[in-house]
Structure 1
């Protein structure tokens, strides 16, 4: 558990935010990553090992975001102090740093305490002055919390680094749902038994996961608390009960059922009762994804003759087709900002890649190309990043990428076969 112990809000920081975030949205050809220096976190003999870990994780998180260009620590000397009165801004400006992050790690009452500072160099302003506390056995969690704070200080948006990713992994011939950190570390198995447990999705509060399981020899929909407890059946109707997604307000579930012989979209209440059938087409309708306000659903339909991405009102009705290129488009994911839909498409080489469509401009961006098969995108809770699977290194690993694909990080901890990543909500 990581806690914010104290916050000193500097006047200069307030003035900086009145002028808007320092680092803008990571989209468009004009964007350039913000040059940021992150010196080694300082500590004493008792915290030296933990300080090294915090440094490594903090740097990796910020680099992975694509918002920052971290300066090589061999290019500067960290000879000034950590606090505002000890900063020598001219020295940092001379090495090309536009921002600097400083931290001091200590132990207090059996817990770790991190004094965290961030500075805008040209304006000589303090944009972050906080103290974080974490358990001595959760150093990485403390580092992820620090990365969240730094990200917010420079972008004005919450960071995603303390959130979790649900993913399916092979375990001794079975497939189970795991929860991992955003860097792929800290894998923890959630499901037990059932043989095949697939297609996880999060409840809006992050406390439970929906998934499809074959534990009763049929693809049935279940829900299970993330932190333990029994899996509860939500839908065990004949045929498919797959792709269940809870609405943003937590009151409904969009799901694919084939109880009437064809794969169609339905709304269920939170207990699994049918509220409404949403589609009635000759083709297959599947893979629903909620818009952040709950008013729309993106989904896959073969009504055009092959799988394409559509959007319709979550109450049903006419659907708008989003994809007109390619003959196999699948696994749509609505951005938490409501501005984009990411999806998987098969190209002319029969390779699968990740695409993102802007719902306002209809602009289509290709995120991956010539990097093996890339599938099943899911947005970070702040909408700035995607996680998806890739075969670029033979095994199916996880990748975190920004929305134009210029920064892609293969999570080295995700060796082995991984499928169906689902990025969870913010940790409150």
Structure 2
């Protein structure tokens, strides 16, 4: 067991080294995120998104952002890619649009209300049913146009597909250039990058609070791993855990009142819970092996975690009150070496990384049936994170020797690669819905 523990620690160390190669923002890191979409399939919903009238008043095009959002969803294809606009007043010619191959139509206009302030109006029509589905009027400043466009795309998804869109959610990840590390926050498409934390020492394991207002992460700025909770709006942060040894792997409870963390303060790494203000530390596992990478279940009743208690690392589940309340039960059986558990927001799926002949590959497990499938054919996948609607998994992969972000649908059919030219981008975490 000691030999295996050394091997497992060696693996964790190598994973850590990989995760550390990721934050820092020089001028090239401020460049636009490149997005490549593949494998979206043939059965896409044809929608005509027309350029908004008087959009030339804006410093950037909201129409282009809406089109890009809908394309990235994997559900839509835009039938009108030009610069033509369509009136958002009156009723469209449904037969004409149907003949042009559109099942839905988006039109809009822009009105400048004052210096740097605009009202963006949009309407959505169901061409097949020959009816209006309503729309939105959004007041936006010139520097907040992306948020307005994302909100419109989310409304289109909701009205046409009946599910909440994720374009207004945010990502956190770490970029490394040279010897500088930065934790950054971006829109869900990887654009509009904002710096949250800048350090000459590594930053790893960002984890969003359920309300999307805070991010917990591990910083090495004191030359040892310390867990911080960072309030994004103010920049204020508190050291959540600075125990002896390693402080790692923070994960929020669904109500935001607690975090599960991994500590080695008493020797071997074990799972603890701690209040969000840093009080009330409680040990949850008491084994003699390695227990790490905790994740709360969607209902908050359980904690999933990685442990080598059975030999090789696998995923286990225990009561959120600790394994003394309900003993840990093994969850993964399909592969011999499994790490990085992540639970979907609806609690139905478990994403994880499996070592398949030396290749680290993203898998998804149906917790009800026990069926597991590979979502990628990768060799160096890391850090899975579910989108707020549970439809996609964000992760890190290697392309051409550089780390990039990727997102794959839970059925494996649609994939997106997000990269910043010249930068290593790793350790992603997908934020929650913002009310």
C-alpha distance in structure 1 between counterparts of 2:133 and 2:274, whole Å: 46
Q: Output aligned runs, 1:135-174, within 5 Å.
A: 135-174=141-180
Asked if structure 2 preserves the Cα contact closer than 8 Å seen for 1:65 and 1:385, the reply is no
Q: CA deviation at 1:290?
A: 1.6
Q: Structure 1 unaligned runs (5+)? A: 1-28
Asked if structure 2 preserves the Cα contact closer than 8 Å seen for 1:222 and 1:232, the reply is yes
Q: CA deviation at 1:57?
A: 1.2
C-alpha distance in structure 2 between counterparts of 1:373 and 1:101, whole Å: 40
Deviation digits for residues 145-184 of structure 1 (CA, Å, limit 9, x no counterpart): 2111111112222221111111111144133311111111
Structure 2 counterpart SS, 1:139? helix
C-alpha distance in structure 1 between counterparts of 2:181 and 2:337, whole Å: 25
Q: CA deviation at 1:372?
A: 5.0
The structure with higher relative contact order (CA 8 Å, sep 6+) is 2
Q: 2:347 aligns with which of 327, 332, 338?
A: 338
2:29 matched residue in structure 1: none
Asked if structure 2 preserves the Cα contact closer than 8 Å seen for 1:397 and 1:414, the reply is no
The reply on whether 1:409 has 2:416 as its aligned counterpart is yes
Q: 1:96 aligns with which of 81, 101, 106?
A: 101
Q: CA deviation at 1:79?
A: 7.5
Q: 2:284 aligns with which of 271, 278, 281?
A: 278
C-alpha distance in structure 2 between counterparts of 1:177 and 1:44, whole Å: 34
2:402 matched residue in structure 1: 395
The reply on whether 1:204 has 2:200 as its aligned counterpart is no
The reply on whether 1:134 has 2:140 as its aligned counterpart is yes
1:69 matched residue in structure 2: 77
C-alpha distance in structure 2 between counterparts of 1:94 and 1:242, whole Å: 58
1:282–1:32 CA distance, 2 compared to 1 (3 A): farther
C-alpha distance in structure 2 between counterparts of 1:340 and 1:157, whole Å: 18
The reply on whether 1:252 has 2:261 as its aligned counterpart is no
Structure 2 counterpart SS, 1:186? coil
C-alpha distance in structure 2 between counterparts of 1:121 and 1:374, whole Å: 42
Moved more, 251-260 or 118-127: 118-127
Asked if structure 1 preserves the Cα contact closer than 8 Å seen for 2:45 and 2:103, the reply is yes
Structure 2 counterpart SS, 1:190? strand
1:183–1:79 CA distance, 2 compared to 1 (3 A): closer
Q: Output aligned runs, 1:175-324, within 5 Å.
A: 175-193=181-199, 195-316=201-322, 317-324=326-333
1:353 matched residue in structure 2: 361
Q: Structure 2 unaligned runs (5+)? A: 1-39
C-alpha distance in structure 1 between counterparts of 2:158 and 2:48, whole Å: 16
Moved more, 204-213 or 168-177: 168-177
Asked if structure 2 preserves the Cα contact closer than 8 Å seen for 1:389 and 1:396, the reply is yes
1:420–1:383 CA distance, 2 compared to 1 (3 A): same
1:357–1:414 CA distance, 2 compared to 1 (3 A): farther
1:415–1:336 CA distance, 2 compared to 1 (3 A): farther
1:210–1:65 CA distance, 2 compared to 1 (3 A): same
C-alpha distance in structure 2 between counterparts of 1:426 and 1:333, whole Å: 17
How many aligned residue pairs are there? 392
Asked if structure 2 preserves the Cα contact closer than 8 Å seen for 1:327 and 1:346, the reply is yes
1:232–1:89 CA distance, 2 compared to 1 (3 A): same
Structure 2 counterpart SS, 1:138? helix
Asked if structure 1 preserves the Cα contact closer than 8 Å seen for 2:181 and 2:198, the reply is no
1:374–1:79 CA distance, 2 compared to 1 (3 A): same
Cα RMSD of the aligned pairs, angstroms, is 2.4
1:301–1:150 CA distance, 2 compared to 1 (3 A): same
C-alpha distance in structure 2 between counterparts of 1:127 and 1:372, whole Å: 45
Q: CA deviation at 1:46?
A: 2.5
1:310–1:37 CA distance, 2 compared to 1 (3 A): farther
Deviation digits for residues 177-229 of structure 1 (CA, Å, limit 9, x no counterpart): 11111111122221133611111111222222111111222211111211343
1:320–1:125 CA distance, 2 compared to 1 (3 A): farther
Q: CA deviation at 1:60?
A: 1.2
Structure 1 counterpart SS, 2:57? coil
Moved more, 32-41 or 299-308: 32-41
